[in-house]
Amino acid sequence: MKLNIRLPLLSLLLMLLTNIAVAQNYQIERVEPLHWWVGMENPELQLMIYGDNIGSLTPKIDYEGVSIKRIQKVENDNYLFIYLNVAPGTKAGSFDIQLLDANNQPVLNYSYTLKEREENSAHRRGVNSSDVLYLVTPDRFANGNPDNDNVEGYADKKDRSDDYGRHGGDIQGIINHLEYIEEMGFTALWLNPVLENAMDESSYHGYATTDYYKVDPRFGSNRLYKKLSNEAEKRGIKLIMDMIMNHSGSNHWWMQDPPTSDWVHYPEEYQNTNHRRTTLHDPYASDIDKKQFTDGWFVKAMPDLNQDNPLLADYLIYNSLWWIEYAGLRGIRHDTHPYAGEEFMSEWTCRVMEEYPNFNIVGEEWGVNPLILAKWQRGSKMPTDFKSCLPSLMDFPLQVSLIESLVEEENWDSGFIDVYETLTFDYAYPAPNNLVIFPDNHDMDRFYRQVNNDFDLYKMGLTYVMTMRGIPQFYYGTELLMSNEKSHDHGEIREDFPGGWASDRSNAFTGEGLTDKQKEAKTFVKKLLNWRKDNPVIHNGQLMQYTPNHDGLYIYFRYNEQKTVMVIFNKNEKEMKIDTKRFYERLDGYRQGKDVITGNTYSLDNLVVPKRSAFVLELK
């Protein structure tokens, strides 16, 4: 009797041990996206499951409204790609993804969650010409949590003495100073990338992603990033995420165990891109030049992703959608836009805009030819062999022309004529008012240096940016005359914002320790930005410019049915009297103009502009 009892118990024990042993051969390390939502426009969802021997298993799901469309196994047995259909009407909740072995026996379960979307999520309004963007390099703005300056497992430690090291700025520091950003008049916040950059050195800039679903712990956490978005929204500030589809970081976790042999270009032998973006549009370009541009690595620390692999293409697209939905984003600034190639850039932009038709994506095409940029903008009628759904671009041609107009001597073919003629190419853009205009950014010399540290030119240039068509963007510290002594030195350009660290001698947030000129600059920017915020005539009014007569003057008007604004620039070393008869088209019915900056009122019959200055006149 005792023997009969022990034998079944022994058999049961052996079965349990066998099952445990089988289960121990499998391990789920990652499921991405981390979760999803019901009610998305596209019911399809790609799941990437990663872990030991996962690829040999077969998934099974039993949840009403969710079905498996297809299973994609790859050459690396540690990956399994599942495409789900989340039918309209599916209820939010959690369900088990059951993984079965070759004998159809369950060996692993993973609980996956579908969440409810925020109300009107699909119809969120993206950044537009009523906004002004404030660009921040998070590591260099403010240290709100010194406890995360150094994190175990991350090699790149805090060292403020190293221009290319980490300085300790973080998301909490930005949250702490949202009031400053709001009071200055900025209505949108673009952060350089905040996702994990577990690189050995120079990781502060964020452009070498090592985990697409994780905020770098030295900046904070996913939850804190979402809090930043929520707190910014309360102040009327929209959050823009900096994304990179072209490349990851060389320390990305998948580089040690890629799903497929073609996950990145040139995995065995490094090949650098030639950076010749124009090859994509050159009718005479060779295939090898185009291939070297799109497939070559940006730098050695940034492997070039192969978006021709449909699994990787889908992975990147779903990741973008996940962050928009999770963090409540109002825009994406897309780094190195052309480098990922026309076909994928078409698919990525179109699928994002299908989900969020009122959203905005700003592409970085660092070219000085407006015709090249125009081909990328949604609705372009330029000759092209691809469809782009990209709503906006960084207006580099206008930025370059603005600097030239300010620093060059006035002549027939130099000076203000540069910026005038660049604007004439607006005919090529489907939506020039949706371009992002800027005096500088994180990749170029500070604006103050570009205008030779000339305060008058500085004010003229910023007046232009704040009154011209498009969406203005300021780099943090431009409002304080921040400059850089060493030309094109990125570490110095991305200098710490004064007052962001407790030990700082000056504090831009309070004004303590700033020079008189810095205070004047800050007040100037603040006044004009807050005026712009309340004036739709600048957001979407029409523009009329008058040809410069190489006399150091440049004049344009912004106008709608309710209001007309006259903007005048005088680069001369003497005051200039304006003959207003030339501008009868726009001045008819007006007799006076009130300067937005000084509050002074001027007669249009005797209009004299002080030397080296700009007027922004509200006409009456």
pLDDT in tens, 129-151: 999 999 999 999 999 999 999 99
Cα 540 from Cα 413, distance rounded (Å): 30
Structure tokens of 6? 């022990």
- Three-state DSSP state, 326: helix
Q: Looking at the domain 540-619, which fold is it?
A: Immunoglobulin-like (2.60.40)
585, containing H or E segment: helix 584-587
Verify whether residue 335 is a known catalytic residue: yes
Cα 51 from Cα 22, distance rounded (Å): 14
Among positive and negative, which fits the CA dihedral 535, 540, 546, 547?
Answer: positive
pLDDT of 515 reads 98
Q: Per-residue pLDDT averaged across 35-53, rounded?
A: 98
542, containing H or E segment: strand 542-546
β-pair type (553-559, 564-570): antiparallel
Q: Label residue 25 by pLDDT band (50, 70, 90).
A: confident
Neighbours of 312 (CB within 10 A): 22
Read off the pLDDT of residues 29-43 as tens digits, 9 standing for 90 and up.
Answer: 999 999 999 999 999
Read off the pLDDT of residues 438-462 as tens digits, 9 standing for 90 and up.
Answer: 999 999 999 999 999 999 999 999 9
pLDDT higher at 1 or 91? 91
Amino acid of residue 533: K
Cα 376 from Cα 380, distance rounded (Å): 7
Cα 506 from Cα 497, distance rounded (Å): 9
Structure tokens of 101? 């072995």
pLDDT of 24 reads 52
Residue 398 in contact with residue 374, Cβ under 8 Å? no
In CATH terms, are 27-118 and 540-619 the same topology? yes
Cα 245 from Cα 348, distance rounded (Å): 9
Cα 165 from Cα 201, distance rounded (Å): 7
Residue 373, pLDDT above cutoff 60: yes
pLDDT of 19 reads 39
Among positive and negative, which fits the CA dihedral 145, 150, 153, 159?
Answer: positive
pLDDT of 1 reads 33
Residue 519, pLDDT above cutoff 70: yes
For residue 377, the cross-strand partners are 390
| Cα separation values, 588 from 373, 404, 450, 619, Å | 36, 33, 38, 10
| CATH code linked to domain 27-118 | 2.60.40.10
Domain range summary for the chain, segments of one domain joined by +: 27-118, 127-241+438-534, 540-619
**End-to-end C-alpha distance for the chain, whole angstroms:** 109
Residue 18, pLDDT above cutoff 70: no
Residue 609 in contact with residue 571, Cβ under 8 Å? no
Reduced DSSP (H G I as helix, E B as strand, rest coil) percent helix, strand, coil of the chain, to 5: 35, 25, 45
pLDDT of 3 reads 35
Cα 144 from Cα 172, distance rounded (Å): 5
Using only C-alpha atoms, the chain has a radius of gyration, in whole angstroms, of: 28
Residue 151 in contact with residue 218, Cβ under 8 Å? yes
pLDDT of 4 reads 43
pLDDT of 578 reads 97
- Alpha-helical (H) ranges within 103-247 are 171-176, 178-184, 222-234
Can you give the pTM of this predicted structure?
Answer: 0.95
Among positive and negative, which fits the CA dihedral 605, 529, 404, 480?
Answer: positive
Residue 540, pLDDT above cutoff 60: yes
Q: Which of 335, 342, 365, 445 is catalytic?
A: 335
pLDDT of 384 reads 75
Verify whether residue 364 is a known catalytic residue: yes
Cα 178 from Cα 227, distance rounded (Å): 12
Q: Which of 163, 347, 364, 410 is catalytic?
A: 364
Task: Tell me what the pLDDT averaged over the chain comes to.
Answer: 95
pLDDT of 386 reads 85
pLDDT of 382 reads 87
Q: Per-residue pLDDT averaged across 244-252, rounded?
A: 98
Q: Per-residue pLDDT averaged across 538-565, rounded?
A: 98
The superfamily (CATH) of domain 127-241+438-534 is Glycosidases (3.20.20.80)
Q: Is the peptide bond before 33 cis (omega within 30 degrees of 0)?
A: yes
Q: Per-residue pLDDT averaged across 284-304, rounded?
A: 97
